[in-house]
A and B are shown apart, each in its own frame.
Chain A
Amino acid sequence: MNGPQRNFLDHLHPARVRLRSLHPKTTLGLGIAALTCLGILLITGLTLLLYYLPDQQRAYERILHLTTTLRFGTLLRNLHYLAGNALLILAVLHLARVALTAGYRGRRLNWCYGLLMLFLIFAGAFTGYLLPWDQLAYWALKVGSSLADYLPLLGHPLKVFLLGGEEIGAETLLRAFAIHAAVVPCGLVGLAGLHLWRVRRDGGLAAPSETPAELPARPWLYRAEGSVALITLTVLLLLALWLNAPLGERADPGHPPNPAKAPWYFVGFQEMVSYSATWGGVIIPSLMILFLALLPWLDRRERGGGRWLAPGARPWQLLLILMLCSQLVFIAIGLWCRGPNWSWVWPPGGG
């Protein structure tokens, strides 16, 4: 196994790896799990691409054809849906992990690559939501795109660009498809390559300097990564067997469901906007984005990353945890505790 062969994978991996890099506690395997999701998304996406048609009249029928007529059609769509959502969650968790171990120290550029990828992932998830052109998709996009309007300066042009006009229409579907099937995958693959290459250039995983003990990467790192990838695949496959990707009636622009909710990852913002458009829709989201983008610069140390709750970064880490937890709470409230006219519903999901 330790022979001299050097294939492509060997170039992405270091020759030797620290023992602690292998340990589950160090990374929780989030990056590899996210990468696996990306792989699954690309493969299932390419399959779906064979059947989908970005046309207002035909898109929904194509999805019906795909899910009910084709062998493994439902499974593929479920898998694509689940992997997309899993990627979103894993990417956020990965970001949290890097922030909480101060792994960005001395690697600010790679943090930015990662953040760009996160935005691409959101764009991919959001545009993918529209493609079935059903009631859920249409109204979630309607809500989501009107949330964009609250962002200052960038918000409205962004919305017009994404929708191909002021309103959702045939152009929107084509644009969403182009972004979803071309821009996002290409961008993600390119950035993921850069992201991994930078990790390698920066000397592997960030680690405290006092751990020099190293192992050959082959086969230990390969096997550890392989385990995470295979576990991710297994879990997603099992989930895809019993969690169906949602599908509503055909889109009807005249009949909004009440309440119309954004896709789940934007429901937190929707909930915040319901309190105050200025605070929940503009100030807080802008501050959140700004905070994430500037985190490596806020924490001014250049060294000493790679340890959980590394000293010197704790106030920022606490802020990040608070931010993520508050979003979770808002999302939970928006998803389960809001009924018709966005009124409070208790117990959750009832009423």
Chain B
Amino acid sequence: MNQPSPPRWVTPLYIAALAAALAVLGTILFMGISHNPWPLDGDIADVTINLGGTPVREHCTSCHPEGSTATGSPHPDIAPHETAELGCTGCHLGEGMALDLVVSHGLPGNGARAILKKKDIQASCYRCHPLQPLAGAEKAWNGYRLYLQKGCDSCHPLAGLQQSGRYAPDLTAVGDHLGIDQLVTAIRDPDREPVNSTMPRYPLSKRQARNIALFLKSRTARPLFQTPMAQLQKKSLLQPDDLFPGSEQLSPGQALLQRKRCIACHRYNRDDGRIGPDLSYSGLLRTDKYLADFPGDPTALIGGTRMPAIRLTATEQRLLVKELRQNADRLQQTRLAKAAEGRDLYMLLCQRCHAADGNGLGPIAANLAQMPRAFANNRNFFADKSDKELQQSLAQGIPGTSMPGFARLLSPERREMLLNLLFKAFIGGDRYAKRRLPELPPKPEFALTAAAGQQLFQQYCIRCHGRSGTGRGPDAARLRLQPSPRNLTNTGYLVSRSDNQLLRAITYGVPGTAMPSWLGELNEQQIWALLREVRRLSMGEQP
């Protein structure tokens, strides 16, 4: 048998590989053993503390002997607490088992375990202590008061409070999930994440938001020194009278508005929450029944509104209606009577939604279910609307939206004055010069099926109006469309629109909005099928 000559490269490769492996292994071993990866003198403090029955293991004092800071200044006296008993992470959070600078102080991200320093440490006080004023925890206490004053509890559930809404995420354990900075961001910039958040942007200063965050950071699922029973029983020690000092001087109606946190969002005479519409005149803008029914079920009257349901007893309803009516009457005779010009009326009654410069982006516009109509730069929209329609909108309001009717509050002459002002100041052009409206597609002889209408809707409309027609399609949030796409499930609004009005919007689009004309794209049959689908959506019918 002829044996071939062995390959010459095998042995050198083997020796080279062996040498490389040994060199790397040797280097690693040498480096690992000679280099001391641990801080200070190389000893690791491995401490286990008993926190209310939970063993907590920490290495913190390896770098912070006896709780000193990084620069060596000693831990302040925290009597009656003791650092030896409480450990570090019980108050300061952080990752006690880590021994490196980045991880041990909390990785970036949600910041759930981000280290708490200096003034922020008071975020930990109410994890164990009941909610009552505590020396050293003034900011967190103030945050708790703000939380109640601003009506956060109207929407957010939070264990242990008398009032708890069911419209927003439960905050009972929010301190376990988010850091203080993340909480501040969530409060001050609510629609950053998720973009379709309905939480309004509260007019809070940075400091106020931080105080609320300090309070919220103390809400944890498992407080270290509270028995489960104590947790269940924990009660707010704040009574509404403590919450709003000086409220005993208010009339019963005003006190009700304050106690139910109406003023946390709405404006009422001098008080202004800067989130919702002005209630000062609403006694004459809405019927008594509307005013009595609205707080208990706002979405029934304004589809998609952000206002949470506020439960009122029958007595409270009567009190509310009476208070609002009296106030509106008083203002009608005083403040409104003094307003001589359309401009004054506009600034008193319209600018909160439609903006002082008429662009529809008033101070509270972003919080309304449907964006207010823009007057400025929106001439085409008004050139398509007959003067009668405009008069009616102003007098009767627009059902299903925040636009109230002004018939009872303003005399016909004053409403004319306002309309004239809108054209003169914002819309421009002649009030009575209208465009000739193009023909609408005639009702086809053979209608498409309801299923075909649904399919057309899913094909053409859902990017803006959303799969279920609520006006929250992916593009609505992504492109931040203004005005936002119409909520097609808003029964109150759509019942008030005639077939012709809807056909016109679908066929020719709506000037001044993102709604395009579908004339070229869809035929008569399809447009009529879509009309039928919109009707179905608005009545909440099942397909």
What is A's interface to B at a CB cutoff of 8 Å?
A: 19, 22-23, 61-62, 64-65, 67-69, 71-72, 75, 135, 213-215, 220, 223-224, 226-228, 230-231, 233-234, 237-238, 241, 247-250, 252, 254-255, 257-258
Once the chains bind, are B24 and A252 in contact (CB under 8 Å)? no
Query: How close is B183's CB to chain A, nearest CB, in angstroms?
Result: 12
> Which residues on the A side are within 8 Å of B18 (C-beta)?
226, 230
Q: Does B2 contact A (CB under 8 A)?
A: yes
Q: Does B109 contact A (CB under 8 A)?
A: yes
Once the chains bind, are A223 and B10 in contact (CB under 8 Å)? yes
Once the chains bind, are B17 and A68 in contact (CB under 8 Å)? no
Q: Which of B57, B104, B113 contacts A249 (CB 8 A)?
A: B113
- Number of A-B residue pairs with CB-CB distance less than 8 Å in the complex they form: 108
Q: Does B133 contact A (CB under 8 A)?
A: no
User: What is the bound-complex CA distance between A258 and B107, given in angstroms?
Assistant: 17
The residue on A at minimum CB distance from B58 is A61
Q: Does B44 contact A (CB under 8 A)?
A: yes
Query: How close is B158's CB to chain A, nearest CB, in angstroms?
Result: 15
User: What is the bound-complex CA distance between A207 and B21, given in angstroms?
Assistant: 31
Q: Does B266 contact A (CB under 8 A)?
A: no
Known contacts A234-B17, A255-B110; decide if A247 and B103 are in contact (CB<8 Å).
Answer: yes
Once the chains bind, are A71 and B20 in contact (CB under 8 Å)? no
Once the chains bind, are B177 and A255 in contact (CB under 8 Å)? yes
> Which residues on the B side are within 8 Å of A19 (C-beta)?
4, 7
Q: Does B30 contact A (CB under 8 A)?
A: no
Q: Which of A72, A213, A226 contacts B14 (CB 8 A)?
A: A226
> Which residues on the A side are within 8 Å of B2 (C-beta)?
213
> Which residues on the B side are within 8 Å of A62 (C-beta)?
97
Once the chains bind, are A214 and B3 in contact (CB under 8 Å)? yes
> Which residues on the B side are within 8 Å of A250 (C-beta)?
112-113
Once the chains bind, are B28 and A75 in contact (CB under 8 Å)? yes
Tell me the count of chain B residues lying within 8 A, CB to CB, of chain A: 42
Once the chains bind, are A227 and B10 in contact (CB under 8 Å)? yes
Known contacts A69-B59, A227-B17; decide if A234 and B24 are in contact (CB<8 Å).
Answer: yes
Once the chains bind, are B98 and A215 in contact (CB under 8 Å)? no
Beta-carbon contacts of B318-357 to A below 8 Å, as 1s and 0s?
A: 0000000000000000000000000000000000000000
List 16 A–B pairs whose Cβ atoms lie within 8 Å, in order of A's numbering. Answer: A64-B98, A65-B97, A68-B98, A69-B99, A75-B28, A75-B32, A213-B4, A214-B1, A223-B13, A223-B14, A227-B13, A227-B16, A230-B14, A234-B20, A248-B107, A250-B113
| Shortest beta-carbon contacts, A-B, top 3 | A230-B17, A61-B97, A223-B14
User: What is the bound-complex CA distance between A67 and B104, given in angstroms?
Assistant: 12
User: What is the bound-complex CA distance between A233 and B23, given in angstroms?
Assistant: 12
> Which residues on the A side are within 8 Å of B33 (C-beta)?
71
> Which residues on the A side are within 8 Å of B32 (C-beta)?
71-72, 75
Once the chains bind, are A215 and B3 in contact (CB under 8 Å)? yes
User: What is the bound-complex CA distance between A250 and B33, given in angstroms?
Assistant: 30
> Which residues on the A side are within 8 Å of B110 (C-beta)?
135, 249, 252, 255
> Which residues on the A side are within 8 Å of B104 (C-beta)?
64, 68
Q: Does B25 contact A (CB under 8 A)?
A: yes
> Which residues on the B side are within 8 Å of A220 (C-beta)?
6-7, 10
User: What is the bound-complex CA distance between A238 and B32, given in angstroms?
Assistant: 14
Query: How close is A218's CB to chain B, nearest CB, in angstroms?
Result: 11
User: What is the bound-complex CA distance between A228 and B21, given in angstroms?
Assistant: 11
Known contacts A213-B3, A231-B20; decide if A248 and B109 are in contact (CB<8 Å).
Answer: yes
Q: Which of B28, B103, B113 contacts A241 (CB 8 A)?
A: B28
Q: Which of B6, B14, B59 contacts A227 (CB 8 A)?
A: B14
User: What is the bound-complex CA distance between A71 and B113, given in angstroms?
Assistant: 25
Once the chains bind, are B6 and A237 in contact (CB under 8 Å)? no
Beta-carbon contacts of B18-38 to A below 8 Å, as 1s and 0s?
A: 101100110010001100011
Query: How close is B276's CB to chain A, nearest CB, in angstroms?
Result: 29
User: What is the bound-complex CA distance between A44 and B18, given in angstroms?
Assistant: 20
The residue on A at minimum CB distance from B20 is A234
